Amino acid sequence: MSATIFTSPSKYIQGKNELNNVGKYVHVLGKKPLILSDQTVWEITGEQIQTSFNHEKLDFHFVEFNGEASINEIDRVVEQGKENNVDLVLGVGGGKTLDAAKAIADGLDVGIVIVPTTASTDAPTSALSVIYSDEGVFESYKFYKKNPDLVLVDTAVVAKAPARFFSSGIADAMATWVEARANVKSGGLTMAGGKPSLAAQAIAKTCEETLFAYGIPAYQAVQKGLVTKHVEAVVEANTLLSGLGFETGGLAGAHAIHNGFTVLEGDIHHLTHGEKVAYGTLVQLMLELHPETELINYIQFYQELGLPTTLKEMHLDATSFEDLLKVGEAATQEGETMKNLSQDITAEDVAHAIIAVDQLSNSLF
């Protein structure tokens, strides 16, 4: 019988303008961090970070992230870290930057500080990364011996990011309770390697309740770059509650279907992680046999957030049934988290549910 396992970052800090204090927080963890960020994010945050570091008399080595959390990119930056004798990694940016930063810190065997600049995924708090090929196709999950030493979220920065990223984060977080409760029901294991704890279940459930209650006004606020109590609550749900909830509550169908979508070619690759997870969540709900009213509740919530709920919005309206079967095959392959929903779900079941979601969504327009 597997043990119950709950895991979390050592410290989580969230607040408006907290990036001004990053040097103070980093100072106790390392003396020469490697900072990983893409050019766009660094233009937004670089001056604040450097000012804070200068105040603490901290040196650092900056490396520009090339955009893909792939083994080649991770290995490239690890070599730079070794050459410059860094003793900490600071990842600043979105989901792929942060996933790569965690892998780089693991490769260097040093601590890791995560600074999300969007509330677009639940990646920041976890002890794992999603690894992609250089072309952006999902390859595997990479697990680490510990969670980040610090997750620092500046809500002033997050609120000024494109609102699409914010709604994508809500979509990713909305999968948390849907998947965790399925995992509890099936007796599956979590990403932390054990059974879901009562704490994880409570966190995952609170995550969904928070998003349904505050998601729409928070989304409207960030469209204007505002930080409100609604925004603070949803940022915490997207980042901390969803992060703890998925890692120690478990993944199931929604993320397996997301991974299945990555095998397709075309404009679907222009969608964010959360946008694909949103549709995957609806497909899981369809596979689970929920009442129409419950399905419609999720669909309408997603539509208000500008998330895709139809095959046309997923850029898949011209996709053949054979290609949807490929999505199903990838989602149900050995090692995928679909087994936490049910061992009996087939590729054809997934393809049918993908189409059924489209039919129901289109009937609401």
Residue 55 CA to residue 230 CA, distance in Å, equals 33
Q: Are 274 and 171 in contact (CB under 8 A)?
A: yes
> Per the residue annotation, which of 149, 258, 349, 358 is the catalytic one?
258
DSSP-assigned letters across all residues of 330-351: HHTSTT-GGGGT-TT--HHHHH
Active site residue 55: no
> Per the residue annotation, which of 99, 122, 154, 273 is the catalytic one?
273
Residue in 23, 15, 68 with CA at minimum distance from that of residue 48: 23
Residue 268 CA to residue 324 CA, distance in Å, equals 13
Active site residue 273: yes
Q: What are phi and psi of 117, to 5 degrees?
A: -105, 0
**3-class secondary-structure state, position 15:** strand
Residue 47 CA to residue 304 CA, distance in Å, equals 35
> Per the residue annotation, which of 172, 230, 352, 358 is the catalytic one?
172
Active site residue 258: yes
Q: Which two tokens stand for residue 246?
A: 């998925």
Q: What are phi and psi of 315, to 5 degrees?
A: 65, 35
Q: What are phi and psi of 189, to 5 degrees?
A: -95, 155
Residue 309 CA to residue 299 CA, distance in Å, equals 6
> Per the residue annotation, which of 154, 255, 349, 352 is the catalytic one?
255
Active site residue 270: no
Q: Which two tokens stand for residue 328?
A: 């199903």
Active site residues: 172, 255, 258, 273
